[in-house]
Structure 1
Amino acid sequence: MSTTPVRYSADGLTFYSQLACPDVQGKVPGILIFPEAPGVGPHVIRRAAALAQMNYVALAADVHGDGTVFDDPKMMLKSIDLLKGQPERLYQRLQAGLQALAEVPQVDPDRLAVIGYCFGGWCALELARNGAALRGVGVFHGALSSSQEESAGRIRAKVLVCTGASDPLVPLEQVTGFSDEMSAAGIDWQVHLYGGTGHGFTSPEAGSNPRPGFGYSASSDRRSWAELLQFLTEIF
């Protein structure tokens, strides 16, 4: 397994992402990973490496541009609010990451999936809602609402959602609304709800967040990872 930086351009910016490739012959599925709100950090880089060990090519994708990883919450929220307010710019960035993954020589461009964590999970769904050619979408403690009305019908992938029952950013009414939306659109979807689990449950780094309803859960992390691996086996 090898890891290398990947650079590409979109929306007038240069994006610096991290690619993890397995040591295999021939072409294998590609998985795009969108990170938590701060940017590409240790958590998603570890996930990419773990997927490469299982013979997937994984790209941990820069969303903010210039390889930015925010340590100032106010600056981070400013960047996110800007992207949410200009969805066409966000889509350019997300699609550029997918295209960069598809162009990796080891990747089979007909077998692509996207997963995301927190803000990255929302991004993964937004990419799918724009009709991206994906086999699957995996969302981990990401918001399930969308600014794109009646966009569920454009989703061409199966959808996996793993979320905490005590997540203040993804309340149960949002989960129910999402489930109804996916069913109405005829999407092949599944939601796994983990009791006693808050926001950011897949990342040990979330344990340092003092906000109520946030934190790491080893058991929910383990269970959701197992669900993802089963999901990838199914779609590929």
Structure 2
Amino acid sequence: MFLRSVLLMLLPVTSFATLVEKDVTYEQQGTTLEGFHVYDDSISAPRPGILIVHQWTGLTDYEKSRSKQLAELGYNVFALDIYGKGIRPQPPAAGKEAGKYKGDRELFRARLLAGLEVLLNDPRTDKTKVAAIGYCFGCTGVLELARSGADVAGVVSFHGGLGAAEGMAAEKETLKARILVCHGADDPYVPSEEVAAFEQEMRDAGADWQLNAYGNAVHSFTQKMAGNDNSKGAAYNEKADQRSWDAMRLFFDEIFK
């Protein structure tokens, strides 16, 4: 990728790229959280930072694998933890846990901002070039981060909920981030009415936004563990996965240039 190529040409490199991976424990109002940090230690200077917000089962190997993919491209990556250390629920308990935060957007935002602070405070992060991505539940998270007025260059949503809580929609006075939504055109969990409401919210806020809808794709289209049966409402779609990843990379090139 262009970003990593330029960094490696400009910076002294004494060895081949080596990813450093580590769990990071941090606090938010007395709650212990545990995220995942990964970076390429062959790059010595600050670089753009990417915050990852997990799906409804909490921080898993899926988010960690995406973190490593991004670190290989030259980014400093932190996958945050919304739920708390050791809280990694499986369905149906995952729905209840996610609901706590969807029902309390102020708490959700506080956890998001706590994770963002970890990334910003890392000396490897170029604080002027930070973005966030999220999957499913995490998509709701990155949109909340943008709505909160967080000082991030952009956010990317992958197959997630788009609705704003009552009284907490994006506003012209606070929205700073550019927004990319990667949406499954046949996602039964995000009805057309929700998509339309999000689009209107973005127009009203004067946002710099884009929404890519991928044909024949349902919920969880980036996740192989979802299987391949669209009739279940959640399924992997290789084309949509690759196209959305490519769209994200182009988006980062644009907002970080």
Alignment TM class, shorter chain as reference:
over 0.9
Aligned counterpart for 2:244 among listed residues 224, 230, 233? 224
> Among the aligned pairs, what percent are the same residue?
38
RMSD: 1.5
8 A Cα contact 1:11 1:89, kept in partner: no
C-alpha displacement at 1:111, in angstroms?
1.3
Correspondence for 1:58: 77
User: What letter is aligned with 1:106?
Assistant: R
SS of corresponding position for 2:227 = helix
Which moved further from structure 2: 48-57 or 171-180? Answer: 171-180
Q: What amino acid sits opposite 1:145 in the alignment?
A: G
What is the alpha-carbon distance in structure 2 between the residues aligned to residue 74 and residue 27 of structure 1? 41
Residue aligning to 1:69: 88
What does residue 20 of structure 1 align with?
38
The alpha carbon displacement at 1:85 in A equals 2.3
CA change 1:223–1:84 in 2 (3 A) is same
Residue 144 of structure 1 is matched in structure 2 by 162
One-letter amino acid of the counterpart of residue 112, structure 1? V
1:49 to 50, 54, 68: 68
User: Residues of 2 paired with 1:55 and 1:16: CA distance?
Assistant: 23
- Offset at residue 75 of structure 1 (A): 2.3
SS in 1 for 2:92: helix
Q: Shift in Å at residue 149 of structure 1?
A: 2.5
SS in 2 for 1:152: coil
User: Which runs of structure 2 are paired with 1:102-117 in the superposition (5 Å)?
Assistant: 102-117=120-135
Measure the CA separation in 1 of the matches of 2:83 and 2:233.
26
Give 1:52 shift: 0.4
Within the candidate set 190, 196, 209, 2:210 is matched to 190
Question: What stretches of structure 2 of length at least 5 have no aligned partner?
Answer: 1-18
Among 20, 36, 40, the alignment partner of 2:59 is 40
Distance (Å, rounded) in 1 between the aligned partners of 2:152 and 2:67 = 18
SS of 1:234 mapped into structure 2: helix
User: Residue in 2 aligned with 1:174?
Assistant: 194
Choose the corresponding residue for 2:96, options 78, 84, 91: 78
| Number of residue pairs matched by the alignment | 235
Q: Distance in 2 between matches of 1:226 and 1:42?
A: 21
SS state of the match for residue 115, structure 1?
strand
Give the counterpart of 1:199 among 219, 222, 231: 219
In the alignment, residue 126 of structure 1 is paired with which amino acid? E
Does residue 6 of the first structure (1) align with residue 24 of the second (2)? yes
Letter in 2 for 1:83: Y
TM-score norm. by structure 2 comes to 0.87
Are residues 210 and 193 of structure 1, via their aligned partners in 2, closer, same or farther at CA, if it must alter by over 3 Å? Answer: closer
What is the CA distance between 1:68 and its match in structure 2?
2.0
Q: Distance in 2 between matches of 1:172 and 1:234?
A: 28
Amino acid at match of 1:131: G
Q: Which residue of 116, 119, 129 corresponds with 1:98?
A: 116
Matched residue, 1:29: 48
Q: Give the one of 155, 166, 174 matched to 2:175.
A: 155
